[in-house]
Chain A
């Protein structure tokens, strides 16, 4: 793919996310879909009680988003490291010899 293709695809993905944000905000509070499903479950099954508790939960929304950011960062760092390594080591990329 050419550099322009990457740019176009990235813009397209960004456009869909932003459009979803604005259309979605009109249609609901943008809560988690899984949460909505569990809420529906509890309202349709009145005597439903979770039979097991999470052993640990983030104490606040802030901590939760920090951990989510951490998760994204770990992924991003690994991918970035890989691309950086490959870009700087063309020799490693051309020959593949089993160890």
Chain B
């Protein structure tokens, strides 16, 4: 059974919720089920924001009566328990201190850090600025993680969702996603 728990962490305004949503839509396209939980309200005013995402195989078609999801679904809580996240996407290095406890001991971290220091680091803001807008740093980080094969989906899955949902900013998001993927392949060559 395929199952992955992903935590996306950053500061208010960095696009944590957008990354989480994009991944959730990608899961739906792959016929996986999803549970998502996100921070709302006060925390978004510059404070830490966390998105919890769980994707899993669950035959929702044969069990359309969702009341029974509680009984038949392999995952039911929208929150990731400490030490249970398979992947942590950190849009700010402070996010590691704040939400690192969610990661399981052998889980993978991808973090924006300028300049990069540890494996999994990428200067996402720097790359996004080169593309014309620092706001796209979230997509750079996502592209970086996806291209390293750390997530349940592929870059093509994400591009397909972006093409449908991102509206006017789709072009920049796509470029940023690809820039992240490119950085990943360069990192592999090093």
B partners with A: no
